[in-house]
Amino acid sequence: MVNRLVNGILIIIIGIVLLMNTTGNLPWSVWEALVEYWPLIIIGLGIQVVFSRWRIPGVALALILALLLSALYPFPGSPDWPTRMFFRERGTSKPLQYSKQLEVPLDSGVSRLEVRMVAPSLDVQARGDQALSVQDSEHAILGELEWDRYEPLVETVPRYEGSAVGTTIESPVKEGRDAGKQRWDLLFHPSLSTGIDVTAGAADLRFDLTSFFAKNLVVSAGVANVEIDFGLSGQHSTV
């Protein structure tokens, strides 16, 4: 009876996750995150052996827990976890297969920067760089873009009669199980008023607002882990 109940719940949860995948409410990358929770299967097997007298389906229970965790927490190496016994440190993540440099030029008269980022699975680290604020600086943003399947597209256009720069960084594939991962490390001009808009299925974001002025930050994601460091500059930021 217990086995049938647990197995039925497992099938229902798998169906719900697949439905959310196909409707675009949950990225397919959750199945990759599921693999990182493999130690739970060993724990479940141990429970099943210890409590074999009561026929507790430990493996099925472990699979249910792993599915729930992969949907709710698709970044098992994040600092939010109380222990990292089984999971790798986030800072030691391996580089993705491909990479390129990002350079957004800074023209005279520009005082604002508007940045839009779009990808199904996105890891972003953003901070200011004082070297960009020197008088002869020619860049509003510098960075490194990494990906494993699809090269991100970059478009930069002047806005508001040249007083602002609009930059869009996006994956050419917005959804699907083969959309791949994007990891972007960005350095911002610290003196520009910056607006950031992030759209992703699963997002792991780290913004150091002590080092540059983000006037507004908007994140739209199915699942997101967001870290923001605020400073004492007296500037007002809307998140």
| Residue 87 belongs to a domain | no
Last residue of a domain, one of 74, 108, 132: 74
| Residue 174 belongs to a domain | yes
| Residue 235 belongs to a domain | no
Within this chain, do residues 105 and 223 fall inside the same structural domain, yes or no? Answer: yes
Per the DSSP assignment, residues forming a β-bridge with 216 are: 195, 238
| Residue 80 belongs to a domain | no
- According to the model, what pLDDT value does residue 74 have? 62
Residue range of the domain that includes 27: 2-74
| pLDDT over 50 (residue 138) | yes
Alpha-carbon distance values, 186 to 115, 121, 126, 141, 142 (Å) = 11, 17, 5, 7, 6
Q: What is the pLDDT of residues 42-92, one digit of tens each?
A: 998 888 888 877 777 888 888 888 888 877 766 555 444 443 333 334 444
Within this chain, do residues 42 and 103 fall inside the same structural domain, yes or no? Answer: no
Better pLDDT: 97 or 28: 97
Within this chain, do residues 22 and 128 fall inside the same structural domain, yes or no? Answer: no
Both tokens assigned to 71? 């949907």
- According to the model, what pLDDT value does residue 75 have? 57
Within this chain, do residues 65 and 103 fall inside the same structural domain, yes or no? Answer: no
Distance CA 85, CA 94 (A): 18
- According to the model, what pLDDT value does residue 198 have? 95
Within this chain, do residues 130 and 40 fall inside the same structural domain, yes or no? Answer: no
- According to the model, what pLDDT value does residue 33 have? 77
Within this chain, do residues 107 and 60 fall inside the same structural domain, yes or no? Answer: no
Average pLDDT over residues 127-136: 83
| pLDDT over 50 (residue 120) | yes
| Residue 10 belongs to a domain | yes
Within this chain, do residues 165 and 63 fall inside the same structural domain, yes or no? Answer: no
| Residue 212 belongs to a domain | yes
Last residue of a domain, one of 74, 89, 108: 74
Both tokens assigned to 205? 């974001």
Sign of CA dihedral 122, 125, 127, 133: negative
pTM: predicted TM-score of the whole model, two decimal places: 0.61
Within this chain, do residues 123 and 181 fall inside the same structural domain, yes or no? Answer: yes
Within this chain, do residues 125 and 185 fall inside the same structural domain, yes or no? Answer: yes
Last residue of a domain, one of 74, 107, 138: 74
From the CB of residue 80, how many other CB atoms can be counted at a distance below 10 Å?
Answer: 10
Within this chain, do residues 102 and 162 fall inside the same structural domain, yes or no? Answer: yes
User: Residue 154 in 3-state DSSP?
Assistant: strand
pLDDT, mean over the chain: 82
| Residue 81 belongs to a domain | no
User: Residue 40 in 3-state DSSP?
Assistant: helix
Within this chain, do residues 69 and 144 fall inside the same structural domain, yes or no? Answer: no
| pLDDT over 80 (residue 210) | yes
Better pLDDT: 89 or 39: 39
Within this chain, do residues 59 and 143 fall inside the same structural domain, yes or no? Answer: no
| pLDDT over 90 (residue 209) | no
* Domains contained in the chain, number: 2
- According to the model, what pLDDT value does residue 85 have? 33
What lies within 8 Å, CB to CB, of 86 at 6+ separation is 39
| Residue 221 belongs to a domain | yes
| pLDDT over 80 (residue 38) | yes
